[in-house]
Amino acid sequence: MTSASFSSLTSQPLPSLIAGEFPRITRLVTVASGAGVLKAGAVLGRIAASKKFTLSAAAANDGSEAVRAILAEPVDASLSDVIAVVYLTGEFNAGELTFGAGHSAASAADALRDLSIFL
């Protein structure tokens, strides 16, 4: 597995995704095979056993139910793991985010705020 590392984006973030000037920290992570096609702005959780990321669903019981990051670029992890850039901090437009089943901007706001991700 490729170790996570800090990264700077090679392209500009989606202007509609970014809501303010709060510092954005990015990191390279592995999006787990089977996560499917995810758009930039997908709210991700981390699977405890593999440390890989997937769309966070409230009913999951593998660790990914806890929101951890926001995907910075679209990915297709339907058939294989994908290395992708995520935001670990920043200020984002809630209407541009994609939440997994059981999550919403309202239900995830407090947990994201604890990570310095503001909606």
As a whole number of angstroms, the distance between CA 117 and CA 68 comes to: 9
pTM listed for this prediction? 0.86
Structure tokens at 7: 């990264």
Banded pLDDT at 10 (limits 50, 70, 90):
very low
Q: Which CATH superfamily is domain 16-118 in?
A: Head decoration protein D (2.40.300.10)
As a whole number of angstroms, the distance between CA 109 and CA 19 comes to: 14
Over range 27-53, report the average pLDDT: 97
As a whole number of angstroms, the distance between CA 97 and CA 91 comes to: 12
Over range 47-73, report the average pLDDT: 97
DSSP state of 42: B
